Amino acid sequence: MPQRKENSVSFENEQALETDCPFIFALSLMGKRWKPAILWKMTEGIHRFGEMKRAIPPISEKMLTQHLRELETDGLITRTIYPEMPPRVEYALTNLGLSLQPILEQLNTWGEKAKKTKAKK
Amino acid sequence: MPQRKENSVSFENEQALETDCPFIFALSLMGKRWKPAILWKMTEGIHRFGEMKRAIPPISEKMLTQHLRELETDGLITRTIYPEMPPRVEYALTNLGLSLQPILEQLNTWGEKAKKTKAKK
DNA sequence: TATGGTAGTTACTAAACCGTAAGTATATGC
DNA sequence: GCATATACTTACGGTTTAGTAACTACCATA
């Protein structure tokens, strides 16, 4: 879904970095654009497309769909369709997604500290 | 240095996200492109421009400079110039930068786990 | 028959990012 | 006088990402 040309230098660089550094691989899964916000909201108990759209105001439907799909194929969330009318689709964190939570919290705390440090200057 | 047009929607979205989420703010400081790799190498004792260039092979000089500058203005590293010939410049982690280290390690561990999870499918 | 609600998809365009290659300054060694 | 070394800077153009707006499908209700 990230529409890369497979022979571009950027593509090759990214491959190389992700291959020999699990940390960069981790960031490629959860560190992109709206993904942190989505994961955050999910830990707060938000599970449906429409709810997320309202909870993360400036996100567009396109971006929300795209990121949810990627999180799904990367094994961080699951997607369950309930064949009702109007349709209902629910997203839930997998064990892998859940195991990220404590790290998210720590980075959050670090971010607060960094913000203060920066503000002082 | 991230050359944003201040009236673009992307710019406004990013501002909004960083303002109300310290986590996304944190990612904006250390989660971009080559920054993790740079920070990683610095914790391993690499302090000079040329060393980093060699330690992170596919990085270009332009990107290395750009990221070092951003890390500096964000308070994660310091830059010290020694007026010698040929010139010598040394980079070091600040306390804020150092305090990131345990989190980097955890994300690294998580990345390894995620990689295995993905490989199984 | 028209409206509303869910959960999307698609085409188009604007913005941001990244890599390449060339150039800067200074001094030492050959 | 030319190459080498360090640590950059700049212009340019291609690549990638993000946002907008319009559109889809299904059924229930008024």
What are the pLDDT digits (tens) for B60-84?
999 999 999 999 999 999 999 998 8
Spatial distance between the Cα atoms of B110 and A104, rounded to a whole number of angstroms: 11
Cis peptide before B86 (omega within 30 of 0): yes
Whether A23 is covered by a domain: the verdict is: no
* Section B103-107 average pLDDT: 93
> Which of B9, B23, B111 faces A36 most closely, judged by CB atoms?
B23
Mean pLDDT score across all residues of chain B = 91
- Tell me whether residue A89 is in a domain: yes
DSSP designation for A85: S
Q: Which two tokens stand for residue B63?
A: 């990107």
Please check whether residue A2 lies inside any domain of the structure: no
pLDDT at A1: 61
Residue type at A58 in one-letter notation? P
Say if B8 falls within a structural domain.
no
Residue A13 lies in a domain: no
**CATH code for the domain in which residue B69 is found:** 1.10.10.10
C-alpha–C-alpha distance, residues B59 and B70, integer Å? 16
Q: Establish if B7 belongs to a structural domain.
A: no
Please report the pLDDT score of residue B65 as a whole number: 96
Residue A8 counted as domain residue? no
Residue B61's domain comprises: 33-120
Peptide bond between residue A87 and the one before it cis (omega within 30 degrees of 0): no
Residue A15 lies in a domain: no
How far apart CA B74 and CA B6 sit, in angstroms, is 19
Closest chain B CA to residue A14: B33
pLDDT at A4: 78
Spell out which residues of chain A touch residue B114, defining contact as CB-CB under 8 Å.
22, 25-26, 29, 74-75, 96
C-alpha to C-alpha distance for A115 and B25, rounded to whole angstroms: 8
User: How many Å does it take to go from CA B47 to C1' D8?
Assistant: 16
Instruction: Give per-residue pLDDT as tens, A39-98.
Output: 999 999 999 999 999 999 889 999 999 999 999 999 999 999 998 888 899 999 999 999
- Work out whether strand B88-93 and strand B77-82 pair parallel, antiparallel, or are unpaired: antiparallel
How many distinct structural domains can be found in chain B? 1
